Structure 1
């Protein structure tokens, strides 16, 4: 008898749970990545700024976030952060999907500071002459950074950023501890309802493996298509 036997799955109910968890995990990945990438770029620029104050702030944020376990971040954002909000905002949060929202915030912050280091390495790999040439053409500092520095830095940083994306995808599984109904949560739910742990967790394992391999493949293809050239 297979895991997808209708007699066991009650017309596909448990199958639907696993698919819902898989899609929520993908949504957590996408939402966290969309927030983490600009955060990482901003922190990288702060850490490479000529301003000592900005460098100090950027370094403090990066070191403060990445030296705290992801689990602690999740628990803080889910249990402590809502208590700091005004009552109407807190009620609005609880009326929506607080587990997914708080998980997204924690994942975005945690991944953003790691992406910041990758982007900072990309910025440092861009020859200083590039900015000097942009300034000599009449571009201001902001325009030089936006039009000349960052496009090259991001291109150099794409392979390690994709590696961070793999880590982010795997880290979505930790959201189960605050009750976010992602893939691990739903796998455990199916296991509790059917006692078929092998099938439920095999599905989750293969899903994580498949998406991770696809992202890793994208990183390899990008590295071959756009090899980094030093000047």
Structure 2
């Protein structure tokens, strides 16, 4: 029976590659999450407004990003939309980590559609009487959303937002397809040099599983805290 040899992860520059890959993966996750959350909130706000045209535009946005594979969206941004930019800007982006930027944008935009739908479900769960009372007190629509609607909607939709965050984190591995040297990319490079498939991919599996469990644990703790605060 063949013996596993995890020392392959400590040879030559493998540790540096793995650490750099993990750091890049976390940076991509955080930046894409911020983009997804901010844009998802704005989309939910527009979707709950009165403009039929704006509602239709947001609905089309959501349908596109929910029904087109994220890998295709990454390719579209990196190989397609990037070519529409001015030549000088293309050169500057390529010299300054354009792969990372386009991966962040594509993953963040795709996840924003899911975030917006979760928040919209939370908003719809709030009794209309609260919104009417806020307007009766003289609050504008934006003030009502900021101080009354959004805090409650966020607390209600937090479980699904946590799930979407975990999915976003796992989908960052797709960035390797355009050359982003995150954890999966680094793992593949080490495996191709050492031919230690089980050891290298088992390490990546443990890292992805561990961080996913940490995200879910942090989300559960935040959910309990917000539920207590709501009471």
TM-score (norm 1): 0.92
Which residue pairs with 1:196 in the alignment?
A: 196
SS at match of 2:227: coil
Which residue pairs with 2:59 in the alignment?
A: 59
- Aligned Cα root-mean-square deviation (Å): 2.1
Change (3 A) 1:73 1:210: same
Q: Distance in 2 between matches of 1:19 and 1:202?
A: 16
Contact 1:156 1:228 in 2 (8 A): no
Which residue pairs with 2:227 in the alignment?
A: 227
Report the more deviating stretch, 150-159 or 198-207. Answer: 150-159
Which residue pairs with 2:131 in the alignment?
A: 131
Structure 1's unaligned 5+ residue stretches are none
Which residue pairs with 2:6 in the alignment?
A: 3
Contact 1:32 1:104 in 2 (8 A): yes
Q: How many residues align?
A: 228
Alignment of 1:1-231 (within 5 A): 2-4=5-7, 9-10=11-12, 13-227=13-227
TM-score (norm 2): 0.92
Moved over 6 A (4+): none
Q: Distance in 1 between matches of 2:194 and 2:40?
A: 42
Structure 2's unaligned 5+ residue stretches are none
Contact 2:8 2:196 in 1 (8 A): no
1:194 CA displacement: 1.4
Change (3 A) 1:176 1:224: same
